[in-house]
């Protein structure tokens, strides 16, 4: 690991996230707020590998981050795994390498089959991305 790939200590109250699956583990590392509140909160430190050709955090990275964050919020609220069936993303500002990208999500409504979730990613309170998603809630088969 080079110094360019070193992740500093996470913001206060955040701990490393595990059990994210191969895709998210490869994109991370991700962190989440240890204490549960009304919002599901996660974060990642923008490394050079998260950037596009002009040094800004890639829109695909931000989208994948928010998709996973909203899926976590759906699970936390419903206790059922949700898979994305609709995702809408609005890009508002630029994130840069060397910044902590903070995310928060909440379920706005759920039924027995789907959860509706809203999220945002920000740096020091400035919104980078806002997203909404609909997640199909999966039931375990016996």
Which pair of tokens denotes residue 75?
Answer: 């699970």
Domain range enclosing 17? 3-137
What pLDDT is attached to residue 43?
97
Q: What is the pLDDT of residue 3?
A: 55
- Of 31, 33, 29, 51, the closest CA to residue 95 belongs to 51
| Segments in the chain below pLDDT 50 | none
Q: What is the pLDDT of residue 4?
A: 65
24: CB partners within 8 A, 6+ apart: 30, 64, 68
| Within-domain flag for 142 | no
Specify the number of domains making up the chain: 1
pLDDT of residue 117: 98
Residue 65 burial (C-beta neighbours within 10 Å; 0-12, 13-18, 19+): buried
How crowded is residue 122: how many other Cβ atoms within 10 Å of its Cβ?
Answer: 18
d(CA 59, CA 39): 23
In a domain, 17, yes or no: yes
What pTM value is reported for the model? Answer: 0.91
Q: Evaluate whether residue 35 is within a structural domain.
A: yes
Question: Looking at residue 78, which CATH number applies to its domain?
Answer: 3.10.129.10
């Amino acid at each position: 690991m080079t110094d360019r790939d070193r992740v500093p200590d996470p913001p206060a109250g955040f701990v490393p996230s595990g059990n994210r699956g191969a895709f998210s583990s490869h994109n991370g590392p991700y962190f989440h707020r240890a204490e549960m509140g009304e919002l599901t909160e996660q974060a990642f430190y923008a490394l050079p590998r998260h950037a596009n050709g002009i040094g800004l955090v890639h829109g695909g990275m931000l989208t994948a981050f928010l998709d996973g964050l909203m899926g976590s919020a759906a699970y936390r609220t419903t206790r059922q795994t949700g898979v994305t069936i609709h995702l809408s993303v609005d890009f508002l500002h630029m994130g840069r390498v060397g910044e902590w990208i903070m995310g928060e999500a909440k379920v706005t409504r759920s039924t027995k089959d789907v959860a509706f979730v809203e999220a945002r990613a920000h740096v020091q309170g400035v919104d980078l991305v806002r997203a909404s998603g609909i997640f199909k809630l999966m039931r375990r088969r016996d």
